[in-house]
Amino acid sequence: MSLIGKNISFAAELLRQHQLVAIPTETVYGLAGNGLSEQAIVSIFEAKQRPFFDPLILHIKNIEAVETYAHWHDSRLKTLAERFWPGPLTVLLPRHKVVPDLVTAGSNLVALRVPNQALTLRLLKELEFPLAAPSANPFGYISPTSAIHVEKQLGNKLGYILNGGHCHLGLESTIVGVEAGEVCVYRLGGLTVADLEAVVGPVSIQLNQSDNPKTPGQLKSHYAPRKPIYLIEDAPNEVLAAANFGYLSFGEPHLTVLEKASAHYNLSPQGQLKEAATNLFNYLRLLDESHVKHIVTQFLPNEGLGLAINDRLKRAMAK
């Protein structure tokens, strides 16, 4: 069992001792350690059972801190950071030697972000180093959006959980970089493609599903409940006939599916994508912890935050 509280000084002292602390962000809770300490970074990978080839994001206190760990090689990325930091944007930049290979999985690029969460920003400003902080859950499982989620999953593997309440966005950051002269989105997230294009013009989308990812969140199977999850149209007949499934819906539910489901959560009865993003991981977790044997769901409109939510659902369903 881990202590849960809001003691920033205590959290900072543990991190200086190379221990792990769960931190809240506006997106999801992170499993944080000293991002310059190989001891702490190895502990993150071990606690999550995360493969070392999957790179981490470094969380920094402000945009000025970028130049300590990387350099701006394209003015468009700096423009995006100036517009959206603190916030759910991660930028991929050429790293300086101070950043350990373990953080980047050997890549010469490092992912950096300034989170938009008051407690964590205060913590970062108190520290002399950045925080490596992937989501605070076992590798591949549903990302945590509350301190209780973290405690249930990793409570015996970290020193403290900094409690910032429920994450108000609930969907990981959007990761952007530059490739072949184009601004690229490598992971869809809390910032939409339209948000980015309003600032820097057209961007390309490269959502690799790979066993050798360039950035976090690109593995084919990820964000997944332990119970099998299917689209309604792909669910085996025996799953729907047995009526022992949970239904994750959006907007107006399919009535025939709703009548058979033994548990039901609606991401947003009014069809609001922002509300759906906030509820996605929490509702998946509730269904996974319930009595149901399977989960059925549907894709959301493939626009705005719906693109990111559908990406998470595809990865959750990947075998």
Instruction: Report DSSP state, residue 155.
Output: T
Task: Give tens-digit pLDDT for 242-290.
Answer: 889 999 999 999 999 999 999 999 999 999 999 999 999 999 999 999 9
The pLDDT of residue 1 is 72
The pLDDT of residue 210 is 55
What mean pLDDT, rounded, does the chain reach? 94
Task: Give tens-digit pLDDT for 78-99.
Answer: 999 999 999 999 999 999 999 9
Looking at the chain, the whole-number percentage of residues with pLDDT higher than 90 is 89
Span 132-156, average pLDDT: 94
Angle (nearest 5°) at CA 147 between 144 and 149: 45
Q: At residue 319, does pLDDT exceed 90?
A: no
The pLDDT of residue 197 is 98
The pLDDT of residue 208 is 67
Token representation of residue 194: 């339209």
Token representation of residue 208: 């690799």
The pLDDT of residue 318 is 83
Which residue in 82, 58, 78, 307 sits closest to 185, CA to CA?
307
Domain boundaries, the chain: 3-70+94-171, 229-317
Span 125-150, average pLDDT: 96
Question: Which residue is it, tokens 């190989």?
Answer: 38
Q: At residue 214, does pLDDT exceed 80?
A: no
* Residue pair 57/86 in contact by the 8 Å Cβ criterion: no
Q: How confident is the model at residue 155 (pLDDT cuts 50, 70, 90)?
A: confident
The residue count for the chain: 319
Task: Give CA–CA dist 102/41, Å, rounded.
Answer: 7
Assign domain 3-70+94-171 to its CATH architecture.
Alpha-Beta Complex (3.90)
Q: Residue 15: exposed, middle, or buried by beta-carbon count in 10 A (0-12, 13-18, 19+)?
A: buried
> What one-letter code names the amino acid at 269?
P
pTM for this entry: 0.92
CATH domain 229-317 topology: Rossmann fold (3.40.50)
Ramachandran angles phi, psi of 139, nearest 5°: -55, 130
The pLDDT of residue 140 is 87
